Structure 1
Amino acid sequence: MAVMALLTNIPVALCLFIIVCYVVSTSFVTKKRFKLNAINKPPKDRSAEPDAPVSVNYFPSRKCNYTCGFCFHTDTSSYVLPIDEAKRGLRLLKEAGMRKLNIAGGEPFLYPRLLTELLCYCKEELNVESISIVSNGSKIRENWLRENCQWLDILAVSCDSFNPETNKKIGRGDDGANVVRLFRIAEWCRKYGIKFKLNTVVNIHNWDEDMVANIEQLAPFRWKVFQCLIVAGENDDETRKRDARTFLVTDEQWQTFCNRHKHIPCYVPEDNNSMASSYLLLDEYMCFLDKGEGMITKSESILQVGVKEAMKQIVWDKKSFVERGGIYDWDRSDMLQSACEGGGNKKELEW
């Protein structure tokens, strides 16, 4: 009826022009919607799935140059996966929803070329959101950081004491120079725009130490403080390479250390209950490790059965992972903005 009204009141040529324009515009919108839905549909966000390996701790090697008495991942194997296989496994993890990769050990910097390849591949090819490395600090060199800083978001250094003699008792080298190296590495991180993180294991040799002044001077963006942990099959008795039972602290000693340092803004404590089953650990064969209850167990390799099937074979509590603060400001967009643009807001992480 509306069209007939137009025909009786508007010249025919103008009426036809209006109708043609309406048909063309309707067709364009329909095609555009179809194209967006059928062709340009955004890829599915795998990280939101319940079993997605959001944050993975990968141990490419067990080899280490230190002999920390409480170590739960000792160098019982010298195996290192061929680089092509390692890359294949990392791609499988990314496709399954991995957003953050943490490379630990062993001591990762015993293999600096391998680290370079892994970092470059994960950032340039896989576009992994965040990559971090945990090191004892003994083998880190400034030229490596200078050449690889564009791919590294976080560098964490393990420091259990600011007393050289205490570090020797723990097994962190025998030269007494750990603290000097630590401050030097922190400065390099600031220089090259890498987030500096500190890890400390509270044990029988350091639970009564006051670290406040040194932590405030180092100013890490995050200080993870762990309660010394026994892992069955790794460090639980004298038949293992490490016997951590003599390094354990009581709950009262743990709380004493925590109460002394809890006012520091970067302080993030994790007791044994918080750690149990909240970490996704991947060994040198790319098998997931389960160090929750009883003997440590492992899955089949993700290279053989895939990520989802391997994850079914171990226990990973995603709820505990989130509750212990497993997701945090783990990229360095704020540092890059500060260095390149003179400041800016932090990028907000979305779960």
Structure 2
Amino acid sequence: TPTSVNYHFTRQCNYKCGFCFHTAKTSFVLPLEEAKRGLAMLKEAGMEKINFSGGEPFLQDRGEFVGKLVQFCKQELKLPSVSIVSNGSLIRERWFKKYGEYLDILAISCDSFNEDVNVLIGRGQGKKNHVENLHKLRQWCREYAVAFKINSVINRFNVEEDMNEQIKALNPVRWKVFQCLLIEGENSGEDALREAEKFVISDEDFERFLDRHKDVSCLVPESNQKMRDSYLILDEYMRFLNCRNGRKEPSKSILDVGVEAAIKFSGFDEKMFLKRGGKYMWSKVDMKLDW
């Protein structure tokens, strides 16, 4: 059952993170109505949670595309959980005014609280301060009753950092900490658009980082092994991507063959999904949040 789905509806992005494993190989985005048709099929097949990702989701139609999908999933499909993962650089308050009520969780990627490190990683656009923006988004999430989450990719350049104070100050509902992952054809190997090898850290390095932050109650760690099999990833054509063999092998599109036929190729490990705590309190109505 596709209980929780990550739909990467675009590969386009305004950042150039050196370890990115979902890169701008195409500029394709499904027409809105086709995307809605696919989402309705997934709901029919048992989806409870949808996460919109990219690329950068707010790039398409200045956030209107993802806004309309969020509204559709909450209003029409009545999904318990609707979330977005974004770098946060393109989100404006007017988006929250229009679509905030339909969004359960906004996850913002932040790998470092040191701007120089963000520049080294490629997560930034020169003048704009990534960290400053994070605090602004935190405030909007409070004002518009959206649960706030932070995603961090731990890599060679931030593995020694102590983020305890900053994370506690931002007080997210969940802090997802990912170990930098190599995916052949995306960020490693010949046909890749990124070379992430120089960012990779060992399992021991990752454990040390986790140990340094063990008092942060909202921390949720994701090792490479957990990430590989326990995510249902839908690409821009609504094909499931199988990451099991260290690269992304696409199924046929659910729009052509249906959800059941496509999901057989996904390599998805439901036991691993549950083991990594993939199912959690993911509806904002269930969270007792001090907005």
Per the normalisation by structure 1, the TM-score is 0.80
Structure 1 residue 175 displacement after superposition:
2.4
| Contact kept? 1:62, 1:106, Cα under 8 Å | yes
Determine helix, strand or coil for the equivalent of 1:214. helix
| 2:93 pairs with 1:123 | no
Structure 1 residue 191 displacement after superposition:
0.9
Determine helix, strand or coil for the equivalent of 1:134. strand
Aligned to 2:36: 87
User: What amino acid does structure 1 have at the position aligned with 2:160?
Assistant: D
Structure 1 residue 237 displacement after superposition:
2.7
User: What amino acid does structure 1 have at the position aligned with 2:47?
Assistant: M
| 2:129 pairs with 1:180 | no
User: What amino acid does structure 2 have at the position aligned with 1:236?
Assistant: S
User: What amino acid does structure 1 have at the position aligned with 2:105?
Assistant: I
Determine helix, strand or coil for the equivalent of 1:300. strand
Aligned to 2:169: 217
> What are the superposed Cα offsets for residues 64-110 of structure 1, whole Å, 9 maximum, x if unpaired?
00000000000110001011110100000000000000000000011
Aligned to 1:136: 87
| Contact kept? 1:138, 1:178, Cα under 8 Å | yes
> What are the superposed Cα offsets for residues 140-163 of structure 1, whole Å, 9 maximum, x if unpaired?
111111211110000000000000
| Contact kept? 2:50, 2:81, Cα under 8 Å | yes
Which structure is higher in helix share? 1
Aligned to 1:14: none
Aligned to 2:51: 102
Structure 1 residue 280 displacement after superposition:
0.1
Distance 2:97 2:165 in 1: 29
Distance 2:207 2:246 in 1: 25
| Contact kept? 2:232, 2:266, Cα under 8 Å | no
User: What amino acid does structure 1 have at the position aligned with 2:7?
Assistant: Y
Q: For 2:111, which of 160, 163, 166 is the aligned residue?
A: 160
| Contact kept? 2:110, 2:152, Cα under 8 Å | yes
Compute the RMSD of aligned alpha carbons.
1.3
Q: Residues 337 and 243 of structure 1: is their aligned pair in 2 closer, same or farther, counting only changes over 3 Å?
A: closer
Structure 1 residue 300 displacement after superposition:
0.1
Of all paired residues, the percent bearing the same amino acid is 51
Structure 2 regions of 5+ residues with no counterpart?
none
Aligned to 1:12: none
Aligned to 2:159: 207
Structure 1 residue 333 displacement after superposition:
0.9
Q: Residues 210 and 176 of structure 1: is their aligned pair in 2 closer, same or farther, counting only changes over 3 Å?
A: farther
Structure number with the bigger relative contact order (C-alpha 8 A, sep ≥ 6) is 2
Q: After the TM superposition, which residues 1-351 of structure 1 pair with which residues of structure 2 at under 5 Å, given as runs?
A: 52-111=1-60, 112-173=63-124, 174-237=126-189, 239-334=191-286
Determine helix, strand or coil for the equivalent of 2:197. helix
Instruction: Count the aligned residue pairs.
Output: 288
> What are the superposed Cα offsets for residues 169-208 of structure 1, whole Å, 9 maximum, x if unpaired?
0001222500000011011101111000000000000000
Q: Residues 251 and 78 of structure 1: is their aligned pair in 2 closer, same or farther, counting only changes over 3 Å?
A: same
Post-superposition, which runs of at least 4 consecutive aligned residues in structure 1 deviate over 6 A? 336-339
Distance 1:310 1:301 in 2: 7
Q: Residues 269 and 118 of structure 1: is their aligned pair in 2 closer, same or farther, counting only changes over 3 Å?
A: same
